[in-house]
Structure 1
Amino acid sequence: MPAAEDRRRGWAATVAALPVGHRLTGKVVGRHPFGVFLPIEGVPDAVALAEITAMPLGMDLPAIGALVRGQVLWHADHNHHVEVWLDEWLATGE
């Protein structure tokens, strides 16, 4: 995971490389009560966050090491995270 300072320095390049709607794949490297983190291949200073607020009721967060796919929903400028919605969450129809 890139350090906060690296994410800040590379933020403009991250936003340009990962526009809203961009499809991505990543391996879960962090799992917390609020969501999961994944690095983004090809964008070394980027961190994607899939927040639990986007997860349908009754589902579990993906496990550490799980390969997940999703799409960029927005860019969180305050903490330099790329917010994503995982495909498995979209499949529920919610």
Structure 2
Amino acid sequence: MGRQPFGVFFRIDGVPNAVALAEIISMPEGMGLPSLGARVRGEVVAHADHNCQVRVRLHEAGAAPE
């Protein structure tokens, strides 16, 4: 959806109203911002029901959650 200096906004498959944000400070060390249209994997670390905002911690490409 969009790249900003502090992170990326993206859609979550199966949750059309959610606005997800992955912040740079929570990305794996050395991981760059995903390019527009890239598929990413991560885990939800916080959410707000009232406005459908979701914070996500990204995983390295191909890495499984711990």
- TM tier relative to shorter chain: 0.7 to 0.9
Corresponding position of 1:7: none
Whether contact under 8 Å (1:75, 1:81) holds in the other structure is yes
Corresponding position of 1:47: 19
Moved over 3 A (4+): 76-80
Q: Which sections of structure 2, spanning at least 5 residues, go unmatched?
A: none
Report the alpha carbon displacement of residue 81 of structure 1 after superposing the two structures with TM: 1.8
Whose radius of gyration is greater, 1 or 2? 1
> TM-score if structure 2 supplies the norm length?
0.73
Cα distance change on mapping 1:51 and 1:78 into 2, 3 Å? farther
Q: In structure 2, what is the Cα distance between the partners aligned to 1:43 and 1:59?
A: 25
Q: Percent identity?
A: 65
How is 1:77-88 mapped onto 2 (pairs within 5 angstroms)?
80-88=52-60
Corresponding position of 1:30: 2
Q: Which sections of structure 1, spanning at least 5 residues, go unmatched?
A: 1-28
How many matched pairs? 62
Greater share of strand residues, 1 or 2? 2
> TM-score if structure 1 supplies the norm length?
0.54
